[in-house]
Each structure stands twice: as C-alpha cells, then as structure tokens.
Amino acid sequence: MPPSRNPSVKTWSEKLHIYLGLYFLVFLWLFAASGLLLNHAWRFAEFWPQRQQSTREQRISIPDATTDSARAADLMRQLGLAGELEWTTVRQPPERFEFRVARPGRTIDVKADLSRATATVQEIRVNGWGVFRTLHTFTGVRINAPTSERDWILTKLWSFSMDAVAAGMVLLVITSLVLAYGRREKWISSAIALVSGILLCGFFVFGLRWL
Amino acid sequence: MKRLPVWTRDLHLYLGLVLSPFILLFAISTVLLNHRWQRTPTLPAAAKQTTSIDVADGAGTLAHARQLLDQLHVTGEIDYVRHNAKAERLLIPVSQPGLTTRVEVDLRARTATVEREAQGLGGALIYLHRMPGPHNVAIRGNWIYLRWWSVVTDSVVYGVLLLTASGLYLWGILKAERGIGWLMLVAGTATVGAMITAICAS
C-alpha cells in the first residue's frame, strides 16, 4: 500500500476500524440476523403459535402512590415482576388498574382490583426466536406514543447499546473511507463501488417520491 | 493460495464501499427510532384535495384499491384497505419513503379525498428501516419498489455478513493486531451476552 499523506491518520483509522469492527461484531450479527427474521415470515422461526400462557391471582396491598407509573412500579415490586412498563390504564370503576410489563420473550398483563386487593397476572412467554426478534425492536419507546418513557434500567442500557452500535457503524464507514483513500492504486474502482452504493441507496431514499 | 488475502482485501474494500451508504441509512434511522424522532411540521396543514372518480365493483380488495389510486395518480405501498360497507366508505393509507398519502373514498358520492403529508428525510429513513417488516405480511410488497427494497435489504444483510467474515479473515492474518483484537472481540461478545442474559433472566 502506498503511504498516505498523513500516516498517523491512516494508522489510527486502521486500528479503529479493526477494533470497532471486532467489538461490534456480535452486535452486528444480532441486529442483521434479527432484521432478516423480521422481514421474512419463515416457518422455522415461528414463535407465536408455540407461546406459553399462564394466569395467576395474587393478593396485593393497595399502593399509596399517586401517579399511575408509581402505582404500577409498586405493584410490580409486590408481584415480583421486572421489565419495561408499556402502558397503564384505569378502568371504570376506578378501583380497577391495569398495566403491561414487557421484555424480550415475556409479556405480562396485570389487572389489579384495588377494592378486593387482588391482582390477576397473565403472562405470555415465547421461544428463543421470539426473544431474538424482540431484541431488534426493544427500545422502550414507540414513535406513535410520545409520552412513553424508558423506565427499566435494562431497557435504557439496551437502547444505549443500539445508539453505540449505530455510532460504531458510522465510525466504521468513516474509517473505511480514509483507508480506501490511502489505496491510491484502487481509487477508480473504489470510487465506482462507492458511487454505485450511493446511487442505489439514494434512489430509494430520495428517488421514489418523484416516480 | 497466496492470492487469497489480496482477493479478500479487495472484496472487503469494494463490498464495504458499496454497502456504506446503506450502513449509514440503518445507523442514522436506528438513532431516530431509538429517540422517537418526529418530523417538525413545516407546512401549515397537509395538502388535501377532493375529486370525482369511477368506482368499480369489488371494494375492499387490493386490486380495487390500486385501480382507484391509479385514477388519482397516487403511487406507493398500500398500508391496508379498510372498507366500511355500512357507510360505503373506503380508507386507503399509502406510503412511500418521505411521503404518506391518505385516500378516503365515498363510494356513494363517487368522490375521493386525497391528503398528502411530507415526512422529510428522517421519515424516509425510518420508513425504509422498518420496511417490509413483520406486519400485514399478506399484502406487503404490493408496490414494486418496496419489493425491490426488500431484495436490497436482504442483500445488505448478506453483504454485511460477508463483510464481517472477510474482515475476520483479514484480521486473522494480521499478526500485529492479535492481542487487542482478541480483547475487543471478547469484550464485545461478553457485553452482548451479559446484556441479553440480564434482560431475559432477571
């Protein structure tokens, strides 16, 4: 390889490219493979028909908290549940309080009857394929639910790791461009490859709305 | 055999360059999705327009909806078709990267209201990230360009897998980066493993 104009930039780009690539390798495999699963209804990866459901009733003490999320957190602690609080709702009469806790592989609906101090816990468990798929989309927020917030520490960590993978991919692309620039004998073929990618991607991002 | 590292290096270079815009697309849209990005409205209201149309039999089917959309010059992926037989109305939401169109048809009056809303670049990236996706599988890909996109996304995934395989091979023959390389690989694997275990087992 011919020496680049600034060898330290090239050397550091190469090191960063290798280290980031290796650190995020399994993350990348996970998100790539789960993305593929989400786009194809492959039978071998079915999880919903094989789900397991269970229901139990448990006595609870009435939570003192005033907000719905605090009440749900109190009941989750009493019922020994962990996960991301998806939603809460107060049914009529107001003594009925319901919420959903979710995490990859498990969805738990809690229906609390505060007048009787009991809660019905309905749990749905899915197999490993279900877990794998949900990890791809497990952000704790939904684009059409502006008030939802991440409340589980592990959701926050997982969501942070998604951002980290995204930032890592951007850095990998930047360092790959620096490294490609350093290979002068490949400039023309590299430019053809890059421009082909840009044109194809640009067609879908910008071009389709003009068709 | 001596040429294998050279070929692999070239493959890694060219494949990486072709895929890099797609990798950026998925990386940026991941951050937008993860932080619930919403388009700031720049227009006072979505553009709305009512016109007369010819309505054939078979309301509620995809083919019927496409025939109505052709009359209205609306293109894109039909999200779903909702037929309210009692009210004699049809709702057809149509999407394409960066633009959503809502078509409401009054079958009795034979008129259609078309409401277009631009979603901007962020909306386009999010749409492409989520498509084709696991929902409405039976009708997904009813727009040819979304079928093409589906092929492209699959190719990007297989390309990324090939890219990582070639990257691993190139790292394997590069003796200078073995130590820290192993450390990074083990650290990354342990991070993923520990997080998944904690999420699923806690």
Retrieve residue A178's tokens: 């620096």
Q: How do B89-96 and B99-106 pair as beta strands?
A: antiparallel
Contact between chains at B36 and A141 (C-beta distance less than 8 A): yes
Helix (H) / strand (E) containing B175: none
CB B36 within 8 A of CB A141: yes
* Closest to B25 measured CA to CA, from A151, A169, A96, A57: A169
- Point out which residues pair with B140 in neighbouring strands: none
CA distance B27 to B33: 10
Whether omega before A93 lies within 30 degrees of 0, making that bond cis, reads yes
> pLDDT value at position B101?
93
Q: Tokens 């498990």, residue? A: A106
Q: What is the pLDDT of residues B89-134, one digit of tens each?
A: 999 999 999 999 999 999 999 999 999 998 889 999 999 999 998 8
> pLDDT value at position A8?
86
Contact between chains at A166 and B38 (C-beta distance less than 8 A): no
* pLDDT > 80? residue B19: yes
* pLDDT > 60? residue B68: yes
A112-129 as b/e: b if 16+ CB within 10 A: bbbeeeebebebbbbbeb
Contact between chains at B75 and A211 (C-beta distance less than 8 A): yes
Retrieve residue B141's tokens: 């890909």
Alpha-carbon radius of gyration of chain B: 24
Average pLDDT over residues B15-23: 97
First to last CA, chain A: 44
Contact between chains at B152 and A198 (C-beta distance less than 8 A): no
B123 touching A, CB under 8 A? no
> pLDDT value at position A116?
87
- Closest residue to A205, CB basis, from B128, B168, B200: B128
Instruction: Provide the shortest C-alpha distance from residue A208 to chain B (in Å).
Output: 7
List of chain B residues whose C-beta atoms are within 8 Å of the C-beta of residue A146:
36, 38
Give Cα separations from A18 to A96, A173, A183 (angstroms): 55, 12, 17
pLDDT bin (cut points 50, 70, 90) of residue B46 is: low
Contact between chains at A190 and B184 (C-beta distance less than 8 A): no
3-class SS of residue B95: strand
- Point out which residues pair with B105 in neighbouring strands: B90, B112
* Spans of all domains in chain A: 1-45+128-211, 52-125
Q: How do B89-96 and B82-84 pair as beta strands?
A: antiparallel
Nearest CA in chain B to A160: B34
Contact between chains at A205 and B25 (C-beta distance less than 8 A): yes
Instruction: Provide the shortest C-alpha distance from residue A182 to chain B (in Å).
Output: 12
A window 134-153, beta carbon within 8 A of B: 135, 138-139, 141-143, 146
> pLDDT value at position B175?
83
The per-residue pLDDT of chain B, averaged, comes to 90
Q: Tokens 């806790």, residue? A: A101
- Runs of H (alpha helix) within chain A: 7-23, 25-39, 68-79, 128-137, 153-182, 187-202
pLDDT tens for chain A, 211 residues: list them: 454 555 688 889 999 999 999 999 999 999 999 999 999 988 898 889 989 999 999 999 888 888 888 889 999 999 999 999 988 887 767 688 899 999 999 999 999 988 888 999 999 999 999 999 999 999 888 776 666 788 899 999 999 999 999 999 999 999 999 999 998 899 999 999 999 999 999 999 999 877 7
Cβ count within 10 A of residue B164: 19
Higher-confidence residue of B186 and A142: namely B186
